[in-house]
Structure formats: structure tokens, C-alpha cells
């Protein structure tokens, strides 16, 4: 079978780094490019982090393109209190020598979509600013997309220390206007929200497995998890979720996940509900949009997939 062509839209970010490691290791995915977006940290910092990732993984053949520096309508709000000043605090990674591709991100996306003989899947694991901008500029290219798999949202209010988003999930809250636009596109959009991603928690004992079994990339992942875990501990967690790897894992092995067809709406006007996602759970209502809600996964299989991916780089 041919590989699935994908573009990864991300804001590295500890869990973004792990998502990249999983995607770039997979023999089922053809990663056409990595597009960065301001989210966990500034656009400049997350773009440097993406370049560090492809260099560590020996995948500088995959172009990295800088995307949007701020959300559609409001100021960008980084979270150094969660991901550190670099956005990737923990391990000591060398400064990248690879350069970003000198191309506007909308043009990059458009060229990939137009030239691909197969429909492309977009793995969106940061704020959705780039995706909304792309299809606002080129609505005709929606038909070239197989699916948009999104890490973001939750079917409940969430309340975590150190986050500024007042009950909403961070990626959606960062740019709810763009998220609202994307979830209303005429293309399958699957949401991997916090309801599901917190089922993927990796324990501190498993951090050691990454270091012992995962080769050079696994050692870095172990250090990333150790740093990221500090934020989780403040919220009473005993393990560390790998949010952003979920859409990647689903694209590789959809049989590992349970997904339901549900209409999803993103709130972008409410003073107290900005960035909230509403999953319509009414059993008697037929969904009217191409939205899907991921409900659960096989945690043990997910962790083994991540360790195997890290090990493959050696």
C-alpha cells in the first residue's frame, strides 16, 4: 500500500516533539512538510524547535516552514510556565544548522495539495490559525484534503494550573475563531480532545523505558517527559499525557481508537466560554457536519508504538 501523504502543523512543544518523532519514523506516512504556528511559544522559538527535531531524527529532507505568528483576532499568549522559555525545556539540544524553507506557508500548503496525486491528511496539533488561513485564501483546495486530525478541545470544562485558558483547552482557546472555521469545513475533522488524550498518560517508570530502550531519540523523549511532568504534578496527575501524538497514532493505526460521528461547535464569542468545544451528544440527532470525536484508545499499545518509533532512529 502507498504511504499516506501528510502535513504536520505544530507548535513544538514537548508533546509536539514526540508527535514528530512518531510521524517521521512511520513507514505508513509520507510527511510532506512541517508547518509551525505560534502556540506553546512564539513562532520563532517553536520553529527552531521543529528544526532541532528533524536534525536529531536525521530527517532534514522534510521541509520546515514558518506559519502564523499570532492568532486571527487576539494577541498570542505563550505558556513558558508549562513548556519553558524555549518551548522545549529539559534536554540540551544543539542549535539547528538547517534553515526553514523560504516560502510563505499558504503557498507551501497550496503547492503540496495541488501537486499531490492523492488527497492529503493534515495533522494539526497546535492552534488552527494556519489551516483557517489556508482555506480562507484557497477554499477550492478543501477537496484535496482527505482529513484534518486535530489535537484540541474537550467535551467538558477543564481547569489546570499554569494555563491561561479559563476552562478551555489551550490549542482551541489560543485561536477559537480559526478553530470554529476549521470545524465547519466540508472535510472530515476528527477531534482528539482532553477527554481522550488524558487516557494516553505515560508513567514515570515508562520514562525510564524510553531512555533505556528508545535509543538517542528515546533519551531525549525521556528528558522531555520528565520536564513536562512537573506541570502535570501541579494538577494532581501521576503520569504525563502525550496529547499531540494521538492524531498521528490514529492516522497510522486507526484500529487503536474509538471514534464517533458527532457535530462539534467551537465557541468564539462568549466572554466566559471562549475556546470551549461543544460535542453534540444527542442520540436522536443525525450529525450534519463531517466532525468526529475520538472517545478512547488502547493506552498500552499507544506507549509501545511510541517507544518503537524512538528506537527506529538508531
Query: Of how many residues is the chain composed?
Result: 314
Q: Rounded to whole angstroms, what are the CA distances from 298 to 145, 149, 160, 244, 249?
A: 27, 18, 25, 16, 11
b/e sequence 216-240, b meaning 16+ C-beta within 10 Å: ebbebbbbbbbbbbebbeeeeeebb
Sign of the CA dihedral with 135 first, then 138, 143, and 147 last: negative
Q: Rounded to whole angstroms, what are the CA distances from 125 to 17, 169, 179, 212, 312?
A: 10, 12, 12, 27, 23
Based on the number of CB atoms within 10 Å of its own CB, is 146 exposed (0-12), middle (13-18) or buried (19 or more)?
middle
Secondary element (H or E) of residue 297: strand 291-297
The residue annotated as part of the active site, out of 83, 138, 243, 261, is 243
Query: In whole angstroms, what is the distance from residue 242 CA to residue 206 CA?
Result: 12
129: its cell numbers? 490559525
Does the annotation mark 243 as catalytic? yes
Query: Which residues does the annotation mark as catalytic?
Result: 243
Amino acid at each position: 500500500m502507498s504511504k499516506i501523504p501528510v502535513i504536520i502543523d505544530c507548535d513544538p512543544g514537548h508533546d509536539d516533539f514526540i508527535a514528530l518523532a512518531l510521524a517521521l519514523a512511520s513507514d505508513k506516512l509520507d510527511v510532506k512538510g512541517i508547518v509551525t504556528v505560534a502556540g506553546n511559544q512564539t513562532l520563532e522559538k517553536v520553529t527552531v524547535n521543529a528544526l532541532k527535531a528533524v536534525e536529531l531524527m536525521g530527517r532534514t529532507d522534510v521541509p520546515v516552514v514558518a506559519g502564523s505568528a499570532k492568532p486571527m483576532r487576539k494577541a498570542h499568549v505563550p505558556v513558558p510556565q508549562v513548556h519553558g522559555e524555549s518551548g522545549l525545556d529539559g534536554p540540551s539540544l544543539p542549535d539547528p544548522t538547517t534553515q526553514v524553507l523560504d516560502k510563505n506557508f499558504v503557498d507551501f500548503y497550496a503547492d503540496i495539495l495541488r501537486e499531490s496525486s492523492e488527497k492529503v491528511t493534515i495533522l494539526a496539533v497546535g492552534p488552527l490559525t494556519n489551516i483557517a488561513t489556508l482555506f480562507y485564501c484557497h477554499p477550492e483546495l478543501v477537496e484535496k484534503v482527505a482529513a484534518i486530525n486535530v489535537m484540541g478541545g474537550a467535551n467538558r470544562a477543564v481547569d489546570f494550573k499554569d494555563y491561561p485558558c479559563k476552562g478551555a483547552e489551550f490549542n482551541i482557546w489560543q485561536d477559537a475563531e480559526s478553530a470554529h472555521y476549521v470545524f465547519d469545513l466540508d472535510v472530515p475533522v476528527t477531534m482528539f480532545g482532553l477527554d481522550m488524550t488524558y487516557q494516553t498518560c505515560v508513567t514515570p517508570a515508562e520514562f525510564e523505558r524510553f531512555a533505556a530502550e528508545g535509543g538517542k531519540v528515546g533519551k531525549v523523549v525521556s528528558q522531555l517527559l520528565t520536564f513536562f511532568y512537573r506541570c502535570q504534578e501541579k494538577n494532581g496527575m501521576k503520569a504525563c499525557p502525550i496529547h499531540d501524538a494521538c492524531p498521528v497514532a490514529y492516522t497510522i493505526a486507526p484500529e487503536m481508537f474509538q471514534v464517533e460521528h458527532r457535530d462539534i461547535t467551537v465557541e468564539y464569542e462568549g466572554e466566559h466560554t471562549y475556546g470551549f468545544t461543544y460535542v453534540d451528544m444527542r442520540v436522536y440527532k443525525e450529525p450534519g457536519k463531517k466532525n468526529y470525536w475520538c472517545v478512547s484508545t488502547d493506552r498500552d499499545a499507544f506507549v509501545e508504538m511510541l517507544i518503537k518509533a524512538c528506537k527506529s532512529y538508531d
